[in-house]
Each structure stands twice: as structure tokens, then as C-alpha cells.
A = this chain, B = another copy of it.
Amino acid sequence: MPRNQQIILDNRPQGEATASNFKLLSSDTPALAEGQVLVRHHYLSLDPYMRGRMNDAKSYAAPQPLGQVMQGGTAGEVVESRSPKFQVGDKVVGMGGWQEYSVVNVEPPGALRKVDTTHVPLSHYLGAVGMPGVTAWYGLVKIIEPHPGQTLVVSAATGAVGSAFGVLAKVRGCRAVGIAGGPDKCKYAVEELGFDACIDYKQHKDAASLSKALKEACPDGIDGYFENVGGMVLDAVLPCMNDFGHIALCGMIAGYDGQPLPLAYPALILTNRLKVQGFIVSEHMEVWPQALQELGTLVATGKLRPRESVAQGIAAAPEAFLGLLKGKNFGKQLVKLV
């Protein structure tokens, strides 16, 4: 029975999250019961939504329980199996949490999914060909509902969601404009991800200035916007929206520490007859097969080459997560455990 290092939520953040909210523990992995498998995690996924769940507040998901292993997506390998459905060596993705191993009940199905790593690297099943990719797909296809020739904008454009969004928008014949933090990310968005333009929000001290830059990058206005950030960026986008535009609200990371994050001009939703819709991809499992099919093909054919920021070792997870919340990551943030 291998030792299993785990990170638990020790206490809830007061304002900004800090490393002291987490604690590293160590335990033995338990013996398997019939119908269980033991998964060794190769990668943990770190995602902005986890910050929201650290608060003990009403949100779309139940809060992360105190004293328990931080929940989250994992990709790994079956190392022991007491189920005929999984063999030792199977590559699998699941919600194993911030730990090196997890014991998974294979019934009912759904907790663990076998994946094929012939054409898609295992880690990408936590990013472009996983939850973040499907998130981009759902917001684009089901809320923004794009038409060829439209202009679509995404914030956090080089992140796991934003980079998939850009490629998905381009293959639908749209103009894709990103918003990202810093010249390196903007350069990468255009040169590697295929965005038509990318705006560095750090060059703009207020929403009016950012809005002006958006208008220049989007001479025909904005038809669809995918929001990962909130705050000043949303205030800057709203006046650029075309009539009948659609906004998919996926994340508002700027407000996750609990500070007020008002929207300056909500009347624009009325005057431009916009649709603004929030969503959580895990509530739309019916689209996952179709979305993963498209995303897997885009990755396998090299049309989507997602970048990853990889921290090493379970003990590095808290700092990597806090960096993600500040935009220090570049592409999908992972922790490599093997």
C-alpha cells in the first residue's frame, strides 16, 4: 500500500487565499474493496473555480469541505483493480482531488473515464480535451451561438478555456480577439493560438481605455463575448457589444476574493438587447461527447496546441494555485506528480 500525500483545505480564506489555507497530510492508501480501483495520479488540474468553492458561501457548487482533500480533476493510471472494467495500466481521468492516489468506485459509471493517449497527451484531458475545453465549447456553441463573420472576444485568452475558445471560434469562421495579461501572452495568442488580435489589459488603467483598444481591434463591434474575468474587463467589453450580442458568463475571477465587483452600466444590456447568461459546464453533460470529439480532433490534428504551466510535486500545488488566481500561469495550470 503506497503512501499517499494529500492536500486538504485547513481553513477558509479571509479575503485573498493564501498558502496557510492548505495543509499537506500523508496517509496509507486503503485496501481495495470489490468494484474499486486504485489510480495513481500523473497530473492534477488547477482551475479558477476552486477558489469560489473555498468560500463558505452560496454558489453553484457546495463549498469544499474543511479538513478534506481539495477536490479537483486528475489524470492518471490504474495501478490496482478489483473491477473487470479497468485493467492495470489503463489511462484514466476523474475527480481524484489534490492527492497522489485515489480509490475510485467504478459503479455507477462516470467517476472514471478511460482515455486514449495515442494522439492526445494525457495531460490535455485535463485541459483542451477536458473540462476547460468543453467549457469553451458550451459557451461558444450553446450561448454565443456564433455565425461566420462575427467578431468574438474572450478574456483570459491564453488560459485553458480561452485558448480552446479561440481555436473553436476560428474554425467557425469568426474573427477571434483575445484579452490577456502581458505582451508575452498576447504574442502567443496571435502567433500560436491563431487569434486575430489580442489586447494586453495591463496596458490599460481603466475600462474606458481598454474599451477604446477593443473598439480598434473589433471595428465591426463584438457579437459574442466569453467572460472568464469580470470587473474592469466586462465593463470595457459591454459598450462594444453589437445589438443582440450574446455574453457567456463563465468566470469572474476578479471577484473571487470577495471584494465588490459591480457592473458599471447594466442598462447597456437593455439598450443593446443583449443576452447575458451564466453557466456551469458540469450541468450540461449531454454536450460532453460531441464537444470532446471536436476538441480531441483539433488537438490530434495539431490545430489546437495548448500550452501548459506545470508545477512539480503535490507540495507545489497550493503555490501554483495561488499563482493561477493572479494570472501567473501561462496556459493550463497542472501539477505533475509522476
Cross-chain contact A264 with B267 (CB below 8 angstroms): no
Quick check: A243 and B277 within 8 Å, CB to CB? no
- Say yes or no: A276-B279 contact (C-beta < 8 A), given A243-B60, A262-B263: no
Do residues A266 and B58 form an inter-chain contact, with CB atoms below 8 A?
no
Q: How close is A177's CB to chain B, nearest CB, in angstroms?
A: 21
Residues of B within 8 A of A252 (CB): 266-267, 270
Give complex CA distance A278, B275 in Å: 7
Residues of A211-243 contacting chain B, CB below 8 A: 230, 234, 243
Closest chain B residue to A276, Cβ basis? B276
**Other-chain contact of A230, B261, B266, B272, B278 (Cβ < 8 Å):** B266
Any B CB within 8 A of the CB of A108: no
Taking A234-B266, A267-B261 as contacts, is the C-beta distance between A278 and B283 under 8 angstroms?
no
Q: Are B276 and A251 interface neighbours, CB within 8 A?
A: no
Give the distance in Å from the alpha carbon of A272 to the alpha carbon of B277 in the complex.
10
| A270–B281 alpha-carbon span in the complex (Å) | 12
- CB–CB B270/A249 < 8 A: yes
Question: Contact check: which of B255, B260, B273, B278 meets A279 at CB < 8 Å?
Answer: B273
Q: In chain B, what residue has the closest Cβ to A268?
A: B278
Residues of B within 8 A of A243 (CB): 60
Contact residues in B for A255 (Cβ distance below 8 Å): 267
Do A270 and B251 have beta carbons less than 8 Å apart?
yes
B276 contacts A277, CB within 8 Å? yes
User: Which B residue's beta carbon lies closest to that of A277?
Assistant: B275
What does DSSP make chain A's interface, helix, strand, loop or mixed?
Answer: loop
Q: How far is the CA of A106 from the CA of B287 in the complex (A)?
A: 51
Residues of B within 8 A of A262 (CB): 262-266
Contacts of A14 in B (CB 8 A): none
How many copies of this chain does one complex carry? 2
Q: Given the interface contacts A252-B266, A266-B230, does A271 sit within 8 Å of B261 by beta carbon?
A: no
> Is A280 engaged at the interface, CB distance under 8 Å to the other chain?
yes
A318–B210 alpha-carbon span in the complex (Å): 40
- Any B CB within 8 A of the CB of A274: yes
Contact partner of A274 among B52, B261, B277, CB < 8 A?
Answer: B277
Report A322 CB to chain B, min CB distance, Å: 20
Count chain B CB atoms within 10 A of each CB in A270, A273, A283 and give the residue with the most: A270
**Using Cβ atoms and an 8 Å threshold, which residues of chain B touch A180?**
none
Question: Closest CB-CB distance, A61 to chain B, in whole Å?
Answer: 9
| Residues from chain B with Cβ under 8 Å of A264 in the complex | 260, 262
A59 CB within 8 Å of chain B: yes
| Chain B residues within an 8 Å CB radius of A230 | 266-267
Nearest CB to that of A278 among chain B residues?
B270
Determine if A269 is an interface residue (Cβ-Cβ < 8 Å).
Answer: yes
- Cβ-based interface call for A291 (8 A): no
Q: Interface readout for A106-126 with B: 1 if CB under 8 Å, 0 if not? A: 000000000000000000000
Instruction: Specify which chain B residues have a CB less than 8 angstroms from the CB of A273 in the assembled complex.
Output: 60, 277-280, 283
Known: A60-B243, A249-B266. 6 other contacts (CB 8 A): A58-B271, A60-B271, A249-B269, A262-B265, A263-B263, A271-B278
Of all A-B residue pairs in the complex, the 3 with the closest CB atoms, nearest first, are A270-B278, A263-B266, A263-B263
Q: List 8 A-B contacts (CB under 8 A).
A: A249-B269, A252-B270, A262-B262, A262-B265, A263-B266, A274-B278, A275-B276, A276-B277
